[in-house]
Each structure stands twice: as structure tokens, then as C-alpha cells.
């Protein structure tokens, strides 16, 4: 066998093994969610049922944990994205000699184990609220949001910074020369340019918060999120209702990705049409024809 053919065969085998490893658990959970046995089972298929989805919706602890995870996720997004935006702007404004030290400081929470962040969040805010008399802040939701935002905001900063490094500063200078104020430049020039990065950072922040366990298991105190409820259920023994939950999450993710891709393609097509129309109008004006005057 020639070297090129052998390389193609090895690549094909590697691709098959990789996708089996990646998608195999999802396929197993997808099949077990519709199988009738009480324990998650792929084979033999004893019958088709949707009862596990009804059992999932009737599970009060699971639904309460799901609502709590969604609420915490939105709060983390509301905190992490502005902090990440501010950190990225500061990164591009400070002097080059202190930029490395600043980058190390703001990225260090990402390198810190989640268990350490969770424990330190609980210890710090317990001492702080005890000394300041603000015991209402010593709450599971508040501590979880603060603990997760401490490192998720670094993710947001990295995403926004990658987009910000391609920003043309001449646009800001031109707007300032024309009399615009700094808030106007930030609102009308910088934010529209960073809109894709802000959306990506918000999605990443929500998903990172939704699936987080290491930090949440310590900072949530007596409250429960979906990950902590699932961890407790797995220790006691799983049921196909958990597989049904996985199917719902995967379906929502696929639908969201397809909707975003469709929206992005439509936006790109509209932008291309506007650019093409502008070029045609400019060419018509330069040609000096009666059609150009009519346009």
C-alpha cells in the first residue's frame, strides 16, 4: 500500500473513532430516553415511550434546579460581559510595559481550580457580610453568581479582546475630530463593531455558568442548581429521565445553532446586497448617464 493511501486510511479510521468517542454517549442517551426499561438501556429495545419526558417535567427538584441554573446564568451574563468588555478596553489602552502583568492578573482566575474559587468565595463573603452587617448578601444565588463571574468574565474578555484588536482607531479619531464625545464614539462606533463578540461572549458565559459544577457545589449553599441535582441523582442511580433531559438540551442547542446560522447568513446576504447596490450607484454616478441622473 502506498504512503498516500495508508495516510488516508489512517485518517479515516481516526475520524471514525473520534466521532464515535464524541457522539457515542449522546447516541446512547438519545436511545435510552425513548426505551421502556427503568434503567437507561440501549439494547435490547423493549418498546418506544415518551413517559420519561413526562416524568422529567413532573420532577419538582429537577425543574427547580433548571430554573435556578437559568436565572443564575442570566445574572452571570449581566455581570461578566460588561466586566470582560471593560477589561478588554483597558488591555488595549494601558502601556505596553505593564500589559503582560495586567494580562496575567485578569486571566489568573481561569487557571484557578473551581473548587478553590468556590471555597474562597464562601469564606470571603461570610467574613465580609459578618463584619459589615450585610448578611442578605450571604445567599447561595449571590455567592454563586459572584464566584462564577470571577472567572467567566475572563473568558468574555478574551473573546472581546480578539475582536477589539482588529478595530481601526482611525474611526474613533475621525469621530472625535468631527465633534463627537467619547460616550458617543463608544455607543455609535465601538459597540456596533464589537456586537458579534459581545453576543459570542454572552452565549459562552451562559453556557459556562449553566454547566458549572466545581464552583457551584460549594457556593450554592442550601440552594440547588441543575448540576448539583443531577450529581445527587447520579450517586443514587440514574433513570432514563436524565437521558430525556439530555435529549432536550441537545435539541435546544442544535435548534439555537441552526437559528443563529440562518440569521447570520441572512445578515451577510443583506450586507452583500447593500454593498453591491452602493457600488452600482457609485458606478452609475461616475458614468454620467441619464440613468444615473434618474437614480
Rounded to two decimals, the pTM is 0.78
Kindly provide the b/e burial profile for residues 49-72, where b requires at least 16 CB atoms within 10 angstroms of the residue's own CB. eeebbeebeebeebeebbebbeeb
DSSP string, 95-129: -HHHHHHHHHHHHHHHHS-HHHHHHHHHHHHHHHH
Residues across the chain: 295
Query: Residue 63 contacts by C-beta under 8 Å, 6 or more apart in sequence?
Result: 57
CATH says 61-237 is which class? mainly alpha
Every domain of the chain and the residues it spans:
6-49+238-295, 61-237
pLDDT at 74: 93
Query: Can you name the residues that pair with 48 across neighbouring β-strands?
Result: 35
Rounded to whole angstroms, the Cα distance separating 58 from 50 reads: 13
Query: Can you name the residues that pair with 35 across neighbouring β-strands?
Result: 48
Reading the block at residue 185, the C-alpha cell is 464614539
Render each residue's pLDDT in the chain as its tens digit; 295 residues: 577 777 888 888 888 888 888 888 788 777 877 877 777 777 777 777 788 888 888 888 888 888 899 999 999 999 999 999 998 888 888 887 888 888 888 888 888 888 888 888 888 888 888 888 777 778 888 888 998 998 999 999 999 988 888 877 778 778 877 887 888 888 888 888 888 889 889 988 998 898 888 888 888 877 788 888 888 877 777 777 788 888 888 888 888 888 888 888 888 888 788 888 878 777 777 765 555 445 5
Amino acid at each position: 500500500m502506498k504512503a498516500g493511501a495508508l495516510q488516508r486510511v489512517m485518517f479515516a479510521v481516526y475520524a471514525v473513532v473520534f466521532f464515535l468517542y464524541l457522539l457515542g454517549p449522546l447516541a446512547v442517551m438519545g436511545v435510552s430516553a425513548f426505551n421502556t426499561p427503568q434503567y437507561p438501556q440501549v439494547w435490547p429495545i423493549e418498546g418506544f415511550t415518551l413517559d420519561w419526558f413526562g416524568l422529567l417535567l413532573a420532577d419538582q427538584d429537577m425543574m427547580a434546579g433548571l430554573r435556578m441554573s437559568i436565572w443564575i446564568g442570566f445574572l452571570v451574563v449581566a455581570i461578566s460581559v460588561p466586566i470582560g468588555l471593560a477589561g478588554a478596553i483597558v488591555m488595549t489602552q494601558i502601556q505596553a510595559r505593564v500589559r503582560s502583568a495586567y494580562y496575567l492578573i485578569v486571566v489568573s482566575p481561569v487557571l484557578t481550580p473551581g473548587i478553590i474559587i468556590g471555597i474562597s468565595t464562601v469564606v470571603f463573603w461570610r467574613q465580609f457580610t459578618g463584619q459589615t452587617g450585610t448578611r442578605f448578601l450571604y445567599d447561595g444565588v449571590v455567592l454563586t453568581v459572584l464566584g462564577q463571574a470571577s472567572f467567566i468574565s475572563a473568558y468574555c474578555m478574551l473573546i472581546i479582546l480578539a475582536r477589539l484588536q482588529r478595530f481601526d482607531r482611525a474611526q474613533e479619531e475621525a469621530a472625535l475630530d468631527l465633534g463627537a464625545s467619547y460616550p458617543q464614539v463608544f455607543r455609535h462606533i465601538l459597540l456596533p463593531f464589537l456586537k458579534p463578540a459581545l453576543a459570542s461572549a454572552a452565549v459562552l458565559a451562559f453556557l459556562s455558568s449553566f454547566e458549572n459544577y466545581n464552583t457551584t457545589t460549594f457556593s450554592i449553599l442550601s440552594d440547588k442548581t441543575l448540576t448539583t441535582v443531577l450529581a445527587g441523582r447520579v450517586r443514587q442511580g440514574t433513570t432514563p429521565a436524565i437521558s430525556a433531559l439530555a435529549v432536550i438540551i441537545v435539541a435546544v442547542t442544535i435548534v439555537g445553532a441552526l437559528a443563529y446560522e440562518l440569521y447570520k447568513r441572512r445578515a451577510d446576504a443583506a450586507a452583500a446586497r447593500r454593498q453591491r447596490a452602493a457600488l452600482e450607484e457609485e458606478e452609475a454616478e461616475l458614468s454620467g448617464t441619464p440613468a444615473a441622473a434618474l437614480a
